[in-house]
Structure 1
Amino acid sequence: MMTAPVDPAKDQLLDAILPHVAFEGWAPSAFNAAVAEVDIDPAHARTLCPRGAIDLAVAYHERGDAAMVTALKQADLSEMRFRDKVAHAIRLRVRAIDDKEAVRRGTALFALPHMAPEGSKLIWGTADKIWDALGDTSRDVNWYTKRLTLSGVYASVVLYWLGDDSLDAQATDAFIDRRIDDVMQFEQVKAQVRNNQLLKPVTGPLSRLLSGIKAPNRVPEVDLPGVWRDPN
């Protein structure tokens, strides 16, 4: 997924707001304090962030995604099993977080009913970037199921990590392994059901139905996040 370059002034606003978020959350007052500290024209700040602190909360999440992708591309994954590559990617995403309180406040923000779609979109985006960085080539229904499953795993990991006070987040590392193991067991069950001849009268028509589902075509020439071209 292609994203537009981040304006340096927006990066400055993000750096400036973080100390305030710990006390005020991603609130208008925190955004106003950041604008004053950066000494930016308030009108320009509103152009960069029409929703104020909410847009900076989104930018903070996307900054973590970008750091994770960079670290993942630099990592030597050649000796890893695929499940370990996915687990490593999740660990890198958690390690990319440099302000736990900012994430805690962001989790509360995106749990609000009117913000839940935005929060879900961000989690989906993280899962999408992980699969893309790991070279996922699926173009059928698996494109969706992989990202949906990983979205659930990552969301649960973040919630667990927020309450983890173990040394070097060792408990979170173990939790990631357990979640990945659960996913792998689920995939094994799916394969068994799919290959079970007794269930073919049910799974056969369902498979034919699902075969019509295709991954969305991305639009490389349009540098906007979340823009797709209908393959039809």
Structure 2
Amino acid sequence: MIDSDPNVQPEAGRTSDAERLLDAALTHVPFDGWSEATLRAAARDADVSPDLARALYPRGAVDLALAYHRRGDAEMVRQLEAEDLSDLRYSEKVARVIEIRLAIADRELVRRGAALFALPLHTADGARAVWDSADAIWTALGDTSDDVNWYTKRMMLSGVYSSCVLFWLGDDSLDSQATRDFIARRIANVMQVEKTKSRIAASPLGQALGRGPLALLSRIRRPGSASDLPGHTG
């Protein structure tokens, strides 16, 4: 049977056609970007027919770029499982996971991906990829929220992660120290916002709003699965 879904994980010890295509594509992206030329070259290098390559990556370049992004998220989770973060504060844990995610990525491949996802046709795909990374980070850290906080945490981290990626792309400091410092500052900003929100919620005005106009927020629940979110299928 043909492996026709790049999201399907290959059996242990076996590399799927989709994975071989992606591996082959990575050597061409620095020169041709995430493009049709890259997909054609990858199919040739991986000895995969053009028709099968198109079946595996129906939208061509954008599906290849998204597959690379998902691979990075999966590797981030794998590396995180091998790390002991028990001595870190929660903000430090989040910062550390972002550092791991950026260390996994290839700067030129990400730069080319940023150019692709900046196109109006693909901005929604780029935003969804960032959201998925934020979700993977919170899930890996054991987030158990099941109300509106599930959404707000991921929205805030998506913004933090996006800004960190952009800073990292232009960082030429030794061992990316400037990026680590930037991540720490961005996380500190978010923590300050959270503290402010907590103070407001505890105030008489916040409590009144919670019983009145904001009461509907208490009814919001996390999605049952990724397919329940807009833009996700199956």
- Regarding TM over 0.5, the answer is yes
Equivalence for 2:39: 31
In structure 2, the residue matched to 1:191 is: 198
Partner of 1:61: 69
1:48 corresponds, among 45, 56, 70, to 56
Which of 45, 68, 81 in structure 2 is aligned with 1:73? 81
The 5-angstrom pairing of residues 77-226 of structure 1 reads: 77-97=85-105, 99-218=106-225, 226=226
Give SS of 1:211's match. Answer: helix
Q: Distance in 1 between matches of 2:92 and 2:198?
A: 20
Unaligned runs of 5+ in 1: 219-225
| Deviations 1:191-212 (CA, angstroms, capped at 9, x unpaired) | 0111111444334324412101
Alpha-carbon deviation of 1:69? 0.4
- Is the deviation greater in 64-73 or in 12-21? 12-21
Letter in 2 for 1:4: V
Q: Name stretches of at least 5 consecutive residues in structure 2 with no aligned partner.
A: 1-6, 230-234
CA distance in 2, matches of 1:70, 1:165: 27
CA distance in 2, matches of 1:105, 1:90: 20
Say if 1:92 and 1:206 are closer, same or farther in 2 by CA, change over 3 A: farther
Amino acid at match of 2:198: A
Aligned length: 219
* TM-score, scaled to structure 1: 0.90
Provide the C-alpha distance between the structure 2 equivalents of 1:41 and 1:59, rounded to a whole number of angstroms. Answer: 19
Counterpart amino acid of 2:102? V
The offset of 1:63, in angstroms, is 0.7
Distance 1:193 1:122 in 2: 32
Residue of structure 2 equivalent to 1:15 = 23
Q: CA RMSD in A?
A: 1.5
SS of 1:5's equivalent in the other structure is coil
Range moving further from structure 2, 61-70 or 189-198:
189-198
1:4 and 2:8 equivalent?
Answer: yes
User: Larger RCO: Structure 1 or Structure 2 (Cα < 8 Å, ≥ 6 residues apart)?
Assistant: 1
Distance (whole Å) between structure 2 residues aligned to residue 63 and residue 183 of structure 1: 27
1:207, 1:81 → 2: CA distance?
30
- Structure 2 letter corresponding to 1:148: M
Deviation, structure 1 residue 136: 0.6
Partner Cα distance (1:163, 1:154) in 2: 15
3-state SS, counterpart of residue 121 of structure 2: coil
Task: Verify the 8 A CA contact 2:135 2:154 in the aligned structure 1.
Answer: yes
Equivalent pair of 2:147/2:222 in contact (CA under 8 Å): yes
